Each structure stands twice: as structure tokens, then as C-alpha cells.
Amino acid sequence: MDVKTLVGMISIIIAGMTMFVGSISPALGMARAVAQALSSIAQQPDEANTITRTLFIGLAMIESLAIYCFVISMILIFANPFWRYVTSQ
């Protein structure tokens, strides 16, 4: 197995692992945040607007982790700096 094949294979495997972790972790975080928000709204219905607003901001921040992981995996697949280094030698 030559170096080009090895770098390509490792890049694809790491991109897949990045997407795996980057989709499971935010999904679990979002589920917990929504469950806590619903529990808080059930206990204090008068504060539902404030809780909902804070929930949406928190969900956006949690989702940014998944977006960053997606960007990293796309860079590893389509614009891999290691691939350019290997092919230039």
C-alpha cells in the first residue's frame, strides 16, 4: 500500500468518525436541553416565553458543534491539506 492510498483511506475514515461523533453528541445534548426546558415550562408556565427563547439560543449553540464537525469532514474529503502535501512529493 503506497502513501497516497494510506492518506486517502485515513482521511475518509477520520471524516466518517468526525461525522459520527459530531452528530451523536449534539443530538444527545439537544434532547437533554429540550427535556429540561419542557420540565421547566411545566413547573413555571408564566416563564414559558423566556425559557423558550433561551432554549432556542442554546439549541443553536449546540447545533454549531455539528456544523463544525461537518465542515471539518468536508475539508478532509475535498480539500485535504495532507493529500496536497503527499502528492507534491
The CATH number of the domain where 75 resides is what? Answer: 1.20.20.10
Residue 66 resides in a domain: yes
Give the tens place of pLDDT for each residue, 49-86: 999 999 999 999 999 999 999 999 998 888 888 887 88
How many domains, the chain?
Answer: 1
Q: Is the distance from CB of 72 to CB of 11 less than 8 angstroms?
A: no
Name the pTM for this structure: 0.74
Residue 20 resides in a domain: yes
Enclosing domain of residue 35: 3-80
Taking alpha carbons only, the member of 77, 78, 69 closest to residue 20 is: 69
pLDDT at 89 over 80: no
Helices then strands, counting H and E runs in the chain, come out as 3, 0
Measured distance CA(83)–CA(13) in Å, rounded: 14
Residue 37 resides in a domain: yes
